[in-house]
Amino acid sequence: MITDLWYKNAIVYCLSVEGFMDSNGDGTGDFRGLMRRLDYLHGLGVTAIWLMPFQVSPGKDDGYDVADYYGVDPRYGTLGDFVEFTHAAKQRGMRVLIDLVVNHTSNQHPWFKSARSDPNSPYRDWYVWSKTKPKNANEGMVFPGVQKTTWTYDKAAKEYYFHRFYDFQPDLNTANPDVQAEILRIMGFWLELGVSGFRMDAVPFVIAEKGADIDGQPIEHFNMLRTFREFLQWRRGDAIILAEANILPEDDKKYFGEDGDRMHMMFNFQVNQSLFYALASADMKPLVKALNATRPDYATAQWGLFLRNHDELDLGRLTPAQRDEVFQAFGPDKSMQLYDRGIRRRLAPMLKGDRRMMELAYSLMLSLPGTPVLRYGDEIGMGDDLSLPERYCARTPMQWSNEPQGGFSAAEKTHLPVISEGAYGFEQVNVADQRRDPQSFLNWMERMIRTRQETQEIGWGAFKVVDVGHDAVLCLRYEWRNNVAVFLHNFHPEGVSVQFKLTPPEGEPNRLVNLLSDTHSEADGKGRHAITLEPYGYRWFRMGGLDYAFRRTEL
């Protein structure tokens, strides 16, 4: 059992090494460039850095087509650079999580090259084969509209191989004990080099039964997740797995484990999708339902909360009517949509650069039950480049200054073009300018992150939704160690006034101390609080005396 629950009050920051900072002027970010920016991340309040894939790869899927699990792509540096980076992060009190992409490999991986070249290869059974094309080959594609099939004929192997994703990403036969043992070796290798855990890619596909005879819902091998968890606790007691699993709430316990013995964390896709519906419609009811449906049952489980990540905004769990409303609000053009289920834009342009809505969205993410996960560039309101294909539009280089290439690189050409000109060009949106402006979005985010880390009730406490009588206002109350925190968010474009009753802890006054300003709230004679929220307004309160917000909470 893990005893150091550091991830409960973490601030996770996801970045791509190739897109963050270029140190040698070749147009591609690298570990030495990233190390130059660690003090920036530390100052922002980041406590854990999640790295997208940086291993050796042909780069057809932004590194998710891994060709060597034990090396660093030479474009980003060396293993020595990686170790120096993890050491530098540790010195600043920041942990490192890395992507673990083991559902599939690149078709250029030596394992697959060996498997396809010889039926007697020891790696043949590491992949999934069929002598004939299965009848369900045109079903179950992850990328509909781009991907044509899940079974592709290989001339060298003279058989079809299975790939849930692109045809250059053959699926590993994860039911094979040798493959499972190799996954543990991969995890052990990077743990020794200083990582504190893994963001495991496509977990439901990793544990699903694979084969030509699979018909209908495949069997999922949840014992695999327990094996991964036990290995981490044995090798490094405080290491974690953050699982990417877009599943229904009734299946949450299967992934967390009946007694918390599987995944430490999972991304809360259900809340994420309902949150965007609330932003589009000002209707809180589906979000409240999602929050209540995804309430963890034990102390070690934790949700990862996010607004946008490096993929499309997946809306597949919404009803068709709800999905259409979100499309109309945030991605009305077909060029903004992807895979018939999602929106491929970054948050700032989705919200039309409306500072009020941006603050509302990030205030909500930081105060929802779980651990916030930020995407690089979120903190300055970066935009997207819809001229780039598929999901690359939201993976453009970090914008550091108004210097050429946004201060990202001295090269004339970068791996992806830096966004230039327009409202979201680096000339207008960059770190350097916002650091000098006390009212900038960057400085607002830094203050909010600091307040979030000081408000540990969110990460550790139990929550309940308080009915304030208005469908557009979400009120959450947290309790932890006799502390009470209350958060209100108004999703309506007009101001609203709400009233509600709260019972303070024994011996504490019925006063709400505003954590973000000096507008505190005193209860009336009947114990009611009356709060007026401006359009898209939000409030963070603690219950107690005026000094209560500044008391140190002992862990």
Helix (H, G, I), strand (E, B) or coil at 451: helix
In this prediction, residue 545 has a pLDDT band, given cuts at 50, 70 and 90, of: low
Q: Which amino acid is at 415?
A: H
- Gap between the terminal Cα atoms of the chain: 18
Average pLDDT, the chain: 94
Which is more confident, 490 or 214?
490
Could you tell me the two tokens for 517?
């300003």
Per-residue confidence (pLDDT) for residue 504, from 0 to 100? 82
Three-state helix/strand/coil letters over 283-320: CCHHHHHHHHHCCCCCCCCEEEECCCCCCCEECCCCCH
How far apart, in whole angstroms, are the C-alpha atoms of residue 399 and residue 251? 39
Vertex 10: Cα angle to 97 and 275 (nearest 5):
100
Per-residue confidence (pLDDT) for residue 529, from 0 to 100? 93
Residue 85 scores a pLDDT above 80: yes
Residue 552 scores a pLDDT above 60: no
The catalytic site residues sit at 201, 244
Could you tell me the two tokens for 367?
């105060």
Query: Quick one: CA torsion of 53, 58, 60, 64, rounded to 10 degrees?
Result: -20
User: What digits encode the pLDDT tens for the residues 395-435?
Assistant: 999 999 999 999 999 999 999 999 998 999 999 999 999 99
How far apart, in whole angstroms, are the C-alpha atoms of residue 310 and residue 464? 31
As a residue count, the chain comes to 555
474, 488 contact by CB (below 8 A): yes
Mean predicted confidence (pLDDT) in 14-26: 98
User: Please, what sign has the CA dihedral across residues 451, 457, 462, 463?
Assistant: negative
User: What digits encode the pLDDT tens for the residues 195-251?
Assistant: 999 999 999 999 999 998 887 677 889 999 999 999 999 999 999 999 999 999 999
Strands (E), 467-546: 473-480, 483-490, 496-501, 511-514, 521-522, 528-533, 538-543
Helix (H, G, I), strand (E, B) or coil at 538: strand
Residues with Cβ within 8 Å of 519's Cβ and at least 6 positions away in sequence, in order, are: none
User: What digits encode the pLDDT tens for the residues 134-177?
Assistant: 988 888 888 888 899 999 999 999 999 999 999 999 999 999 99
Per-residue confidence (pLDDT) for residue 551, from 0 to 100? 52
Question: Which contiguous run of DSSP H or E holds residue 373?
Answer: strand 371-375
37's torsion region: left (phi>0), alpha (psi -120 to 50) or beta? alpha
Could you tell me the two tokens for 369?
């039950």
Per-residue confidence (pLDDT) for residue 526, from 0 to 100? 87
Work out the percent of the chain whose per-residue pLDDT is above 90. 87
Q: DSSP of 188-231, one letter per residue?
A: HHHHHTT--EEEETTHHHHSB--STT--SSPPB-THHHHHHHHH
Closest CA to 172 of 66, 57, 62: 66
Mean predicted confidence (pLDDT) in 105-129: 98
φ/ψ (deg, to 5) at 30: -150, 175
Look at strands 538-543 and 511-514 and give their pairing. Answer: antiparallel
522's torsion region: left (phi>0), alpha (psi -120 to 50) or beta? beta
Per-residue confidence (pLDDT) for residue 182, from 0 to 100? 98
Q: In CATH, what class is 110-162?
A: alpha beta
Whether CATH 3.40.1440.10 fits 462-550: no
Domain ranges of the chain: 6-102+177-453, 110-162, 462-550
φ/ψ (deg, to 5) at 530: -115, 120
In this prediction, residue 59 has a pLDDT band, given cuts at 50, 70 and 90, of: very high
Residues with Cβ within 8 Å of 308's Cβ and at least 6 positions away in sequence, in order, are: 346, 347, 350, 375, 378, 394
In this prediction, residue 555 has a pLDDT band, given cuts at 50, 70 and 90, of: very low
User: What digits encode the pLDDT tens for the residues 356-376?
Assistant: 999 999 999 999 999 999 999
In this prediction, residue 86 has a pLDDT band, given cuts at 50, 70 and 90, of: very high
Mean predicted confidence (pLDDT) in 285-295: 96
Per-residue confidence (pLDDT) for residue 216, from 0 to 100? 67
Could you tell me the two tokens for 142?
């992850």
How far apart, in whole angstroms, are the C-alpha atoms of residue 515 and residue 452? 10
How far apart, in whole angstroms, are the C-alpha atoms of residue 63 and residue 492? 40
Whether CATH 3.20.20.80 fits 6-102+177-453: yes
255, 262 contact by CB (below 8 A): yes
Mean predicted confidence (pLDDT) in 107-124: 97
Per-residue confidence (pLDDT) for residue 1, from 0 to 100? 67
